Amino acid sequence: MINNKRVIVLTGGGTGGHLSIVKAIKTKLSYYKMVYIGSTKGQDKEWFENDPDFFRKYFLDTRGVFNQGFFGKIRSIAMFLNATREAIEILKELNPKVVFSVGGYSSAPVAYGAKFLKIPLVIHEQNAVTGRLNQKLESYATHFISSYRDDSPIKEYPIKEEFFIKRRVRTEIKCIFFVGGSQGAVAINKLALSLAKDLDKRGIKIIHQAGNNNIEDVKKEYEELGIHAKVFGYSTNISSYMNEADIAISRSGASTLWELSANGLPAIFIPYPYAVGDHQYHNAQFLRDKDLAWIMREDEIDNDKILDILDNEDISSKSKSLGHIIDSTGDIKIARLLKEFLN
């Protein structure tokens, strides 16, 4: 058993939205022995397998249970039970003071292992609609953190400082950023290409995150249209692309939504229609209710309405107000809360 005075376990992932929370928090905990436990599936290994900040890293064989067929659910549950046994053995060896979970199927074995071993569990829920796993674990959690809930001990969303440093107030639209995530979004790709000619007529430059698998096809279509656009997939320089733009058309995963807000970049959100609990819609609704964003369902995309927003809406007030709904202390406050268990 390891001396647990300095050991903290961070778990959860599957998608970049979950993993970006881990990435933001770990930079504020470098004095401690950090351990990451994730999944062999999803993007966990891509993000953290070679990360030198972690004292140890474990990737368990798990996958999501929901949105599976009957036999798929049975197999996923069997994988979860086996991974939970592994997680319990790992936690017994590590003997941590606290487990910090960002949710997602990657976190399930470790979170339940922490519950079984009576290790304090701190949960961060990224979305306006609480995920099914976090719903089941909330009553056990020592602290439950959500930027959308009044009863949360910390309201600030943990965002890397670079998004705040590059923040600026937009006064006119000269550049638009289509944000589909590193995997891309077919609906946003199609929309961007269908708007390209009209944007070009207005002198609006295009930056387009098309997804790693779609880059060449999207570039070719822009070339056929005679339009110059910056097209890319995954990037570690996303804050610079945001800063260059004056408005975004984007999915509304939690991390993307709060990064855009931190940067002061107004957005037209097109929520992913198959998100569990329709959480992307509710994420965006949180900003729309404050008159800080626009929302279009994927099956309600209207090019004329988008062009009307670009031509007639005053984005400067939204850009200014976005800078006031989030500050750069989220990661510091969460790290400080976790340190209370270790000190």
Percent of the chain predicted with pLDDT > 90: 72
CB 11 within 8 A of CB 110: yes
Q: Per the CATH hierarchy, to which homologous superfamily does domain 4-159+328-342 belong?
A: Glycogen Phosphorylase B; (3.40.50.2000)
Taking residues 270-276, report their average pLDDT.
92
Sheet of strand 7-11: strand arrangement: 56-60, 33-39, 7-11, 98-101, 121-125, 143-146
CB 13 within 8 A of CB 106: yes
CB 167 within 8 A of CB 264: yes
Residue 66's pLDDT band (boundaries 50, 70, 90)?
low
**Could you give the residue ranges of the DSSP H alpha helices within 95-127?**
108-117
CATH 3.40.50.2000 placement within the chain: 4-159+328-342, 162-322
Cα separation of 153 and 85, whole Å?
31
Domain 162-322 has CATH 3.40.50.2000: yes
| 263 vs 72, residue with greater confidence | 263
pTM of the predicted model, to two decimals? 0.87
Residue 123's pLDDT band (boundaries 50, 70, 90)?
very high
Q: Which of 321, 334, 246 is nearest to 290 (CA)?
A: 321
Cα separation of 133 and 135, whole Å?
5
Residue 105's pLDDT band (boundaries 50, 70, 90)?
confident
Cα separation of 178 and 192, whole Å?
7
Q: Which of 79, 86, 102, 270 is nearest to 180 (CA)?
A: 270
Percent of the chain predicted with pLDDT > 70: 95
